[in-house]
Amino acid sequence: SMGGYLSGVYALNYPNRVRHLVLADPWGVAVRSEETKGRKIPWYWKMAAAVVTKFNPLAALRVVGPWGPDVITKVRGDIASKFEGIYEDPTVV
């Protein structure tokens, strides 16, 4: 989840400010297997990770500004159908 990701990144960047961090059911945080523990990460993956981690996952959506809802509808059309029964006004979702 996004909260688990942010918590983990914060704890890694500011270890002197975090005494304990408990992540309950953190999606996307896999346990390292014995066979992957000794592997070295290639330099190009490290460089790509350094660039990507500087950006917020929603930065691209913020860049498109007022067209954001249209982009979401085109990319993830299923999101509106998941929440359409919650609000009376169909333009809210």
Give the pLDDT of the chain (93 residues) as one tens digit per residue: 678 888 888 888 999 999 988 887 666 666 677 777 777 888 998 888 888 777 776 777 788 888 888 888 888 777 777 777 777 776 665
Query: Which pTM does this prediction carry?
Result: 0.34
Residues 32, 29: Cα–Cα separation, whole Å = 9
- Which residue in 8, 43, 55, 48 sits closest to 28, CA to CA? 8
Residues 35, 79: Cα–Cα separation, whole Å = 38
Q: Could you tell me where the beta strands, DSSP code E, fall in 1-93? A: none
